[in-house]
Amino acid sequence: MVRKYFKALVFEWRLKRAKKKAASDAALYGKKFLVVVFGGKPVVVSMQGIKKLIRQHRFAKGFTAEKAEKCALYVAIPDNSKKQTPCS
């Protein structure tokens, strides 16, 4: 009982950290980032990375990037309204 609670507590802490990292990476790189569970831990992966892994046949047949986005715990979308303009 206590062990289950502790594991859940650690998972929530890792998830919170992964969400922050995904949001900051999306803002920094201007790409979409997903938080997915891999090996029992929340992991931050870019959408480009997911597509690359699909091309390398790392997932089951029929798995698509849209399915990955549906089953993701968190999706960080970059804010393109703050586009940087070149200096004069």
User: Do the strands 33-38 and 74-76 form a parallel or antiparallel pair, or are they unpaired?
Assistant: antiparallel
In the predicted structure, residue 7 carries a pLDDT above the cut 80: yes
Q: How far apart are CA 49 and CA 53, in angstroms?
A: 6
Domain ranges of the chain: 2-79
Tens digits of residue pLDDT in 26-67? 999 999 999 999 899 999 999 999 999 999 999 899 999 999
Distance in angstroms (rounded) separating the CA atoms of residues 22 and 69: 14
Region 5-20: what's the mean pLDDT? 97
pTM comes to: 0.81
Q: Compute CA distances 80 → 28, 30, 83, whole Å.
A: 11, 7, 6
Average pLDDT, the chain: 91
Gap between the Cα atoms of 21 and 46, Å rounded: 11
